Structure 1
Amino acid sequence: MSAADRLPEDYDVIVCGGGSAGCVVASRLAADPDLEVMLIEAGGMGDVPEVRDPTIWMRNIGSERDWGFQSEPCPGLNGRRAPLPMGRVLGGGSSVNGLVWARGHKADFDLWEAESGDPAWGYEAAVELYRRIEDWDGPASPLRGVGGPMRITLPKDPIPVVDGLLAATSAFGVPQVADHNAEAMAGEGCCAVANVNVDRDGVRVSTASAYLRPKLGQPNLTVLTGAVTRRVVIENGRAVAVEFETGGKIRLARARHEIVLSLGAINTPKTLMLSGLGDADALRALGLPVVQHLPGIGQNFQDHILVAGCVFEYREPLAPRNNSAEFTFFCKSDPALPSPDLQPMLEECAFGSEVTRPAYGLPVDPSTCFTLAPGLIRPMSRGHVALTGARPEDPVRIHANFLAEEADVRALLRCVEICREIGNSEALKPFVKQELMPGPLSAPDMLTFLRNAAGTYFHQTCTAKMGRDAMSVVDGSLKVYGVEGLRVADGSIMPAVAGGNTMAPCVLIGERAAYLIARDLSSSTDIATDRLHGAAA
């Protein structure tokens, strides 16, 4: 008999997906010993060097810890398919990503508040919640937290070119700050050494290690890895059970109170649609029952665009350090914009796409080059996720639609200009021998380069958005419209992708979801919300 065969069949709350948000939800709820919580995760525990060691995080991409999604061919990328890595391991993206902790701009939370109609999603509430989440050991600020589960720090002894990048970017007009997650969250832009989530021994801090692992021995918390969520069973308008596959068997677990989908911006809409939620005509065309017409499910797909990139050869070799991405900056492609829309990143290697790497003959040895990779964090282009069949085994089609909007193209062309100017600046001459890519190009050739070089930050979001319009999927309490006992808690619920790396906002979403669930349970049971050890209102 397998471990799964010995599991109970009933729980108070079932969380599907142990990623950046799902681990938070399960851990916070399991703080109440009277609440039986189950967490279902498709991947493994992640106790491997590639997860623990921040210097080799890129080895997770394309491994068994990656779902390995790809977009459909994008006309905006000259017909290329964009790789769309997503974590398939306990901790999700927080276990496999590049470890940059970016909390998001004030404008993001202003939008979330406006879309939800709930000030608890606003900027002041977000700052307070981040203060409870973080254990920050950098420059003191009333906006930062100490003593929370997520240890956030600055890279120790960054690669020397970082000093040159800070000086060059400041000279360009983007102010240098000691902490891009403090007052700069509400500002016009900044450059900084990137915050990272590592412990005092230099080991990655994921939501699995920070939130979940301290509670794994509790009898009221069941964590099942290697289990793929197939669909939610809905009876009489209420989510009552989760169908999942493990060990080659299809199993069912029932939920007495709540089911939470934290499966990410691709698998969450897929699961919702397979459960009978989505556009009624599209569901009927596949022979799926229509439980609730929610046309927004799978729509509004967004991702940050990262261009590979503006590559510069070192005068002397410099081996990568820490997370190999120790510098970032935020700025505007147009001064009239209300908030920064660009976020280039340092990549401590010659970062090229499948087209540009061979075309430019980029070196493989990471110590020979660095890349200042242009990044767009407020894309106008929108895509969608679609089913290809009625079975959970059938893949989805991800119509990412990258660079479909001319505004995105203009912004990224400007970003390439900025990165080239900074990389070729006086402040970086002690480090830079020559620019390897793209070099000075005509306008048509630069556009071709951009479309051949553009990819993503791996920040897929927004496919089950929070809001109050006809295309919204969840309300301000993260409840799925028209279904009782079902919520979404992951990056899917963002109305628009946050203006920075998305791990930190997903942790915030998990905290908020845990509070909301506990609050609702306490109003109908004797479960006390004050046992949640910091989940904030």
Structure 2
Amino acid sequence: MMTEAHPADQADILRRAAENQARLTAELEPAYDFIVCGAGSSGSVVARRLAENAAVQVLLVEAGGSDEAESVLNPALWPTNLGTERDWGFTAEPNPHLNGRALPMSMGKGLGGGSSINVMVWARGHRSDWEHFAAESGDARWNYQNVLDIYRRIENWRGAPDPSHRGTDGPVWVQPAADPSPIAHALLDAASELGIPTFDSPNGRMMESEGGAAITDMLVRDGRRQSLFRAYVQPYLDRPNLTVMTGATVERIAFEGNRAVGVDLLHGGARTRIGARQEVVLSMGAMQTPKVLMHSGIGDEAELRRVGIPVRQHLPGVGANLQDHVSFGCTWEYAEPIAPRNSGSEATLYWKSRPELTAPDLLFCQVEFPVPSERTAARGVPEHGWTMFAGLAQPQSRGRLRLRSDDPAAALQIDANMLSDPADMTAALACIELCRELGNARAFRPLVRGEVMPGDLRGEALKDYVRDSAVTYWHQTCTAKMGRDSMSVVDGSLRVYGVEGLRIADGSVLPRVTTGNTQAPCAIIGEQAAASLRAAHQL
């Protein structure tokens, strides 16, 4: 069991860590053994695991800044980070399948990345996801049983004991939402009314089956957010072999021949190159990782030539296969105001759009306040209410990222392409039908005045509501996928095809988006990358 530091000792540790990092960043080395680009949900894991070997010098580079902010640490304040300096602030192109709407696509920028601004949900993905990844990569290390073992090893689980699924000695503090709202319990009761099973946790048997409902697992400890940066990196900030550099934007990978030997970055208004003696790891997420690859000459040959970038390695899958969970908010008005608790999202449900499916393809996160889109807000939003933030767990639509120019400062062109596949509209209609059945079930009647939207819409009117209400779950992934076909970018060890000394460890390597929130799978990606690096370099 992990031991707890006395508050006075903890303050001393934090002081020593701050002094150490100030010293290390003031005297940057010309080269490190490993450079990890991005201190988010995967990069934090990779940096920590490499730095566990005291003989290895690790540089962790982050474009954003510190996570020392009440808006980060207070679980209830997560929405206040959206659109700030802690958000990359991406915007997709206008989408004809969403009535011409251009969706904002937030992604975390700062220590912790998405794990510092997200809703703190810990969702492992379904058994079928991991079996699919193992098949795509041809690598059994990605199968469900092996990944389950990793989850058990990294978790410090605080809920009901479940030794076959949960671990209690790891760095990641995971707990069920504390003292959930009556509205969260009502969702579980409504699911039972409809014959959907309920579970003690969404991360055990529930995601080995057709789905179900449960109180959400969260990365919250003593009422404070526990990001993956804080779980993995913060305890190592006093080590002399781990340097964390903030405010540094990676523009390109430096090469000698076909080997990555460092990174070119912008820091404090100046451009500099820092060398990597062993490997460079890109962990910047599904937008920034392919962007840096393309600016480094790795990507689709025709796309690179279009913007005048010399081709180093033709990999047409870079920037392709963009996936995201798309949500359609259905809203109810409270009979009496009920204040949100924890993060304001304490119950989750996974289920099927068609009875013949053997795994869930729909994802429901209850939000304890209204969450309209910019378009559906015009329909009238109750002052006090709750939203079924429900959507497609396995969308069929695929988007694409493109460069606008050879300037690394230029914004990406993001064609998210949501709902372009007709199967997604069919699933969306089933999703909204199930939302309405749940929200109008007996379990909610003492708590709500009634349904606000969508109401009893049919045919084209309901499809129009889908297009107007669609928003992102902020689970952008899959733009540098792992696999063995011509569109794959990395192999099962996360090495970039055709070049040496370069790996990717973030959500972009997923062949398809996982069933559920993506934070926990990104921790697994970090663990897998670190294990491969340690084995390759005999660390």
Q: Same fold (TM over 0.5)?
A: yes
Residue 3 of structure 1 deviates from its aligned partner by 7.6
> Are 1:502 and 2:504 counterparts?
no
> Distance between the aligned counterparts of 2:139 and 2:262, measured in 1?
29
| Partner AA of 1:179 in structure 2 | S
> Are 1:157 and 2:175 counterparts?
no
> Distance between the aligned counterparts of 2:445 and 2:27, measured in 1?
64
Residue 338 of structure 1 deviates from its aligned partner by 3.0
Q: Please, what TM-score do these two structures have when normalized by structure 1?
A: 0.95
Q: Per the alignment, in what secondary structure is the counterpart of residue 164 of structure 1?
A: helix
Question: Which residue, 226, 232, 236 being the options, matches 1:215?
Answer: 236
Question: Which residue, 243, 250, 266 being the options, matches 2:264?
Answer: 243
Q: Counterpart in 2 of 1:49?
A: 70
- Once the two structures are superposed, the pairs formed by residues 401-420 of structure 1 within 5 Å of their partners are 401-420=417-436
Runs of 4+ in structure 1 off by over 2 angstroms are: 1-6
Question: Which residue, 170, 177, 188 being the options, matches 2:192?
Answer: 170
Q: Per the alignment, in what secondary structure is the counterpart of residue 160 of structure 2?
A: coil
Q: Counterpart in 1 of 2:319?
A: 298
Contact in 1 for aligned 2:183/2:368 (Cα 8 Å): no
Structure 1 residue runs of 5 or longer lacking an equivalent are 528-537
Q: Counterpart in 2 of 1:145?
A: 167
Q: Counterpart in 2 of 1:181?
A: 203
| Partner AA of 1:197 in structure 2 | L
Higher mean Cα deviation, 23-32 or 281-290? 281-290
Residue 172 of structure 1 deviates from its aligned partner by 0.8
Question: Which residue, 190, 212, 218 being the options, matches 1:190?
Answer: 212
Structure 2 residue runs of 5 or longer lacking an equivalent are 1-21
CA 1:3–1:212: 2 relative to 1, 3 Å: closer
Residue 432 of structure 1 deviates from its aligned partner by 1.3
> Distance between the aligned counterparts of 2:490 and 2:502, measured in 1?
9
Higher mean Cα deviation, 418-427 or 465-474? 418-427
Contact in 1 for aligned 2:38/2:61 (Cα 8 Å): yes
Identity of aligned residues (%): 49
> Distance between the aligned counterparts of 1:375 and 1:190, measured in 2?
15
> Are 1:31 and 2:47 counterparts?
no
Contact in 2 for aligned 1:310/1:416 (Cα 8 Å): yes
Contact in 2 for aligned 1:4/1:246 (Cα 8 Å): no
> Distance between the aligned counterparts of 1:14 and 1:426, measured in 2?
55
- CA RMSD, aligned part only? 1.2
Higher mean Cα deviation, 435-444 or 376-385? 435-444
Q: Counterpart in 2 of 1:106?
A: 127
| Partner AA of 2:159 in structure 1 | G
| Partner AA of 2:348 in structure 1 | T
- Once the two structures are superposed, the pairs formed by residues 42-121 of structure 1 within 5 Å of their partners are 42-121=63-142
Q: Please, what TM-score do these two structures have when normalized by structure 2?
A: 0.95
> Are 1:373 and 2:392 counterparts?
no
* 1:169-199 superposed Cα distances (whole Å, 9 cap, x missing partner): 1111210111110011210111011100111
> Distance between the aligned counterparts of 2:432 and 2:38, measured in 1?
37
Question: Which residue, 263, 267, 280 being the options, matches 2:288?
Answer: 267
Contact in 2 for aligned 1:9/1:253 (Cα 8 Å): yes
Q: Per the alignment, in what secondary structure is the counterpart of residue 250 of structure 1?
A: strand
Residue 4 of structure 1 deviates from its aligned partner by 5.4
Contact in 1 for aligned 2:25/2:244 (Cα 8 Å): no
> Are 1:453 and 2:474 counterparts?
no
> Distance between the aligned counterparts of 2:512 and 2:426, measured in 1?
20
* 1:380-425 superposed Cα distances (whole Å, 9 cap, x missing partner): 0000110001111111101000000111111111110111111111
| Partner AA of 1:392 in structure 2 | P
> Are 1:344 and 2:364 counterparts?
yes
Matched residue pairs, number? 517
> Distance between the aligned counterparts of 1:348 and 1:488, measured in 2?
36
> Distance between the aligned counterparts of 1:497 and 1:161, measured in 2?
29
Q: Per the alignment, in what secondary structure is the counterpart of residue 176 of structure 2?
A: coil
Q: Counterpart in 1 of 2:337?
A: 317
| Partner AA of 1:361 in structure 2 | G
* 1:462-495 superposed Cα distances (whole Å, 9 cap, x missing partner): 0000000000000011000000000000000000
> Are 1:354 and 2:393 counterparts?
no
> Distance between the aligned counterparts of 2:155 and 2:207, measured in 1?
16
Q: Counterpart in 2 of 1:532?
A: none
Question: Which residue, 436, 456, 465 being the options, matches 2:481?
Answer: 465
> Distance between the aligned counterparts of 2:106 and 2:380, measured in 1?
25
Contact in 1 for aligned 2:478/2:511 (Cα 8 Å): yes
Q: Per the alignment, in what secondary structure is the counterpart of residue 287 of structure 2?
A: helix
Residue 6 of structure 1 deviates from its aligned partner by 2.6
